[in-house]
């Protein structure tokens, strides 16, 4: 369920605290105008279809790097799984629960399943309401927006969607921790904000003991307990822009295509074989009728000889639909000075497969523009 709208702050709240994450601020003076690139030349016309060849078939396309381990449920909020509460099997995210629910075979099965689903949705509403009360109705988006300090504006056009982030110690090149998945990176006028907001809902069903009555006792092994777990966590790491010491961009894209072409035997051999079999059958039923004997002999000879000719010396080409795969690797490595551990680190941001490449490069440009060490406004920061 989508989070409730947060309560409004009092009138003394600073404007920066109420600024939404998606609203970019006005950038400083634009850099010198870049030279205009000439228009690309017109692509050559596709070759004309040669007569006698079959029309090309629609290729089958596969993106083998579109393998996100999470789903997007908000501008910065992700989940490791989609919530199936409104489906016919709300327990499908838990293997044991889904298996138990699918194995139900009881009298009054349809009504019993409807009662289970209704109870599952009811307890989900209770768990969601209690969860909302714990967070005072705040979502990950609103909590992060309150972390903007006075005079700070968001300057990146959109949050950078990252599949994962990993921190590495540059001296030993050892990875620190297991990293995080499904986070967003936002550039403000003062800081680089790394945000990871996750929200998950898991529904389970298991055998349970229910109260018994004399007139209507429960049937054996047909009493269940339905449960819902709603959890979220918000991870927020602000990095002052003067602590960003370097940036490196890796953008690698690949595409492969293949198609099968075969030279098959002409299907006419089978028709000629049928003619030969027909002629042979005519000989068998001719009863010494001269006309039938001659007709059967001619058909059998033409059929069997023609079948061998078609099978051995004639062929027909056949083409299959092309198959293509694409893959990509886009990573942004940042050198930073971590003020928590008091040491330099390398942050590796791996972009989501669906992240637009032009937007990612624009995000990197804005980061360099506002970072003192990257925009040549100051001498490089040397970390010994």
Is the pLDDT at 39 greater than 60? The verdict is no
290-313 helix and 268-284 helix, angle to the nearest 10 degrees: 160
Instruction: List, for residues 322-377, the tens digit of each pLDDT value.
Output: 899 988 889 999 999 998 989 999 999 999 888 889 999 999 999 999 998 887 65
Note the pLDDT of residue 32: 41
Percent of the chain past pLDDT 90, that is, above it, reads 31
Q: What is the pTM of this model?
A: 0.64
**Strand pairing report for 60-63 and 323-338:** parallel
When pLDDT is cut at 50, 70 and 90, the band that residue 101 belongs to is: very high
Q: In this predicted structure, which of 11-20, 84-93, 234-243, 370-379 has the lowest mean pLDDT? A: 11-20
Residue 62: closest CA among 314, 255, 299 = 255
Beta strands in 146-260, from DSSP E residues, in sequence order: 160-169, 174-187, 191-207, 224-240, 244-258
Is the pLDDT at 311 greater than 50? The verdict is yes
Rounded to the nearest 5°, which phi and psi values hold at 82? Answer: -75, 155
- Give the mean pLDDT of 217-221: 87
Is the pLDDT at 380 greater than 60? The verdict is no
**Strand pairing report for 77-79 and 191-207:** parallel
Is the pLDDT at 23 greater than 80? The verdict is no
Note the pLDDT of residue 47: 47
Contact present, 230 and 125 (Cβ < 8 Å)? no
Percent of the chain past pLDDT 70, that is, above it, reads 80
When pLDDT is cut at 50, 70 and 90, the band that residue 190 belongs to is: very high
Is the pLDDT at 100 greater than 70? The verdict is yes
Residue 259 tokens read as: 């198609």
Note the pLDDT of residue 148: 84
Note the pLDDT of residue 213: 80
List, in order, residues 6 or more apart from 171 with CB less than 8 Å away. Answer: none
Q: Facing residues of 332 across strands?
A: 249, 349
Q: In this predicted structure, which of 39-53, 228-242, 265-279, 320-334 has the lowest mean pLDDT? A: 39-53
- Give the mean pLDDT of 310-331: 89
- Give the mean pLDDT of 184-195: 91
Q: In this predicted structure, which of 144-148, 172-176, 301-305, 380-384 has the lowest mean pLDDT? A: 380-384
Note the pLDDT of residue 345: 93
- Give the mean pLDDT of 306-313: 90
Contacts of 362-366 with CB under 8 Å at 24 or more apart are 362/157, 363/156, 363/157, 363/158, 363/160, 363/185, 363/187, 364/247, 364/249, 364/332, 366/27, 366/155, 366/156, 366/157, 366/187
Note the pLDDT of residue 346: 93
Instruction: List, for residues 121-175, the tens digit of each pLDDT value.
Output: 999 999 989 988 887 777 767 777 788 888 888 898 888 999 889 999 988 888 8
Note the pLDDT of residue 349: 93
Note the pLDDT of residue 35: 40
Q: In this predicted structure, which of 130-144, 184-198, 304-318 has the lowest mean pLDDT? A: 130-144
Is the pLDDT at 250 greater than 70? The verdict is yes
Q: Facing residues of 154 across strands?
A: 188
- Of 198 and 365, the structure prediction assigns the larger pLDDT to 365
**Within 10 A of 240 (CB to CB), how many other CB atoms are there?**
14
Average pLDDT, the chain: 80
- Give the mean pLDDT of 207-219: 85
Note the pLDDT of residue 58: 66
């Amino acid at each position: 369920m989508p989070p409730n709208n947060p309560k409004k702050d009092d009138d003394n709240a600073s404007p920066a605290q109420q600024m939404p994450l998606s609203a970019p601020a006005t950038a400083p003076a634009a850099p010198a105008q870049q030279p205009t690139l000439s228009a690309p030349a017109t692509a050559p016309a596709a070759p004309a279809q040669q007569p006698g060849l079959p029309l090309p078939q629609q290729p089958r396309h596969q993106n083998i790097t579109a393998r996100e381990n999470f789903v997007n449920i908000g501008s910065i909020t992700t989940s490791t799984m989609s919530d199936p509460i409104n489906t016919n099997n709300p327990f499908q995210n838990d293997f044991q629960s889904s298996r138990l629910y699918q194995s139900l075979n009881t009298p009054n099965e349809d009504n019993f399943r409807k009662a289970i689903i209704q109870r599952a949705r009811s307890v989900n509403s209770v768990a969601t309401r209690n969860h909302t009360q714990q967070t005072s109705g705040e979502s990950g988006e609103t909590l992060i927006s309150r972390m903007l300090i006075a005079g700070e504006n968001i300057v990146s056009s959109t949050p950078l969607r990252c599949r994962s982030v990993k921190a590495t110690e540059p001296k030993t090149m050892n990875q620190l921790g297991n990293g995080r998945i499904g986070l967003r990176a936002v550039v403000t006028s003062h800081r680089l904000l790394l945000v990871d907001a996750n929200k998950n809902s898991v529904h389970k069903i298991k055998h349970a003991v229910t109260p018994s009555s004399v007139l209507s006792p429960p049937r054996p092994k047909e009493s269940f307990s339905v449960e819902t777990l709603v959890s979220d966590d918000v991870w927020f790491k602000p990095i002052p822009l003067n602590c960003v010491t370097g940036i490196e961009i890796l953008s690698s894209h690949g595409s492969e295509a293949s198609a099968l072409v075969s030279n098959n035997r002409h299907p006419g051999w089978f028709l000629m074989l049928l003619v030969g079999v027909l002629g042979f059958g005519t000989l068998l039923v001719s009863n010494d009728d001269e006309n039938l004997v001659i007709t059967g002999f001619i058909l059998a000879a033409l059929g069997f000889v023609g079948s061998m000719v078609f099978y051995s010396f004639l062929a027909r080409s056949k083409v299959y639909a092309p198959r293509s795969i694409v893959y990509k690797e886009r990573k942004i490595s940042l050198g930073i000075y971590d003020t928590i551990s008091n040491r330099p680190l390398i942050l590796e941001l791996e972009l989501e497969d669906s992240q637009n490449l032009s937007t990612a490069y624009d995000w990197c440009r804005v980061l360099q523009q506002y970072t003192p060490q990257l925009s040549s406004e100051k001498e490089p920061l040397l970390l010994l």
